[in-house]
Amino acid sequence: MTKKSKAPNFGLARAFAAGRGIGLALMFTLTACQAPQPMTADQQLHQGLGFAQSAHIDSAEHFLKNALHGYTEAGDVIGQAKANWALAELYKSKRYQDLQTPPATTEAYQRSAELFQTAAELYESQGRTALAASAHMGAANAQLLANQIAASCVQYRQAESLAHLPATRLDAAASAKLDENMKFLADLAIVCAANPL
């Protein structure tokens, strides 16, 4: 008994190949049509904060500046305050300072103080007095690091006056952080008392 050889079904193979080709073409077309979505300001902020924790200071600065730009375009005042604060912390950080040479170190501290001041104003405009006071404390610290005692005391006094407002205690977490910041810079109170305006 002889077996009848089965002729290959080229029609089925061609259909499969054509279907596969169409599928691949469709996949490439859809991929090409989908442009990558730009990162939101929040995503940029988080990305920048992540890079700030690593040795990628340039990337951190890039993402934080983009976040600030995005928040500014959107009119997001709290977002602007957060981005200003993050940039201020970056410029004041040891990692950033290690990359600088004098007088750039002092300039970075000054820039940090200005950004903290902006954050304080933005938070205060939104009634977030505890955060505004903490931002003033950040500015005071940056000014102190820049050896600008008088300017540091001005910022400290602004923080102190906000700290005594009843509204400041309404935000328990921010108020606790403010207390922590004021304890950290307790020596500044002594320096400022010795250097009245």
The pLDDT of residue 183: 93
Q: How far is CA 171 from CA 77, 98, 116, 151, in A?
A: 18, 35, 19, 27
Q: What does the domain layout of the chain look like in residue ranges?
A: 41-194
The answer to whether 162 touches 168, Cβ cutoff 8 Å, is yes
The answer to whether 140 touches 155, Cβ cutoff 8 Å, is yes
The pLDDT of residue 13: 47
- Rg of the chain over Cα atoms, rounded to whole angstroms, equals 28
Q: Distance (Å, rounded) from C-alpha 125 to C-alpha 134?
A: 14
The answer to whether 155 touches 124, Cβ cutoff 8 Å, is no
Q: Distance (Å, rounded) from C-alpha 9 to C-alpha 12?
A: 6
Low-confidence residues in the chain, pLDDT < 50: 12-13, 15-18, 24, 26, 30, 32
Domain 41-194 - what CATH class? Answer: mainly alpha
- Tell me: the pLDDT tens digits for 75-88? 999 999 999 999 99
Return the half-sphere exposure (C-beta side, CA atoms, 13 A cut-off) of residue 14: 4
Q: Distance (Å, rounded) from C-alpha 124 to C-alpha 135?
A: 10
- Residue 2, phi then psi, degrees to nearest 5: -105, 145
The pLDDT of residue 55: 81
Q: What is the pTM of this model?
A: 0.78
Q: How far is CA 77 from CA 35, 62, 88, 95, 160, in A?
A: 29, 20, 16, 28, 23
The pLDDT of residue 195: 80
The pLDDT of residue 124: 96
The pLDDT of residue 102: 86
Q: DSSP letter at 147? A: T
The pLDDT of residue 16: 46
Name, in order, each residue with C-beta under 8 angstroms of 169's C-beta and a sequence gap of 6 or more: 130, 175
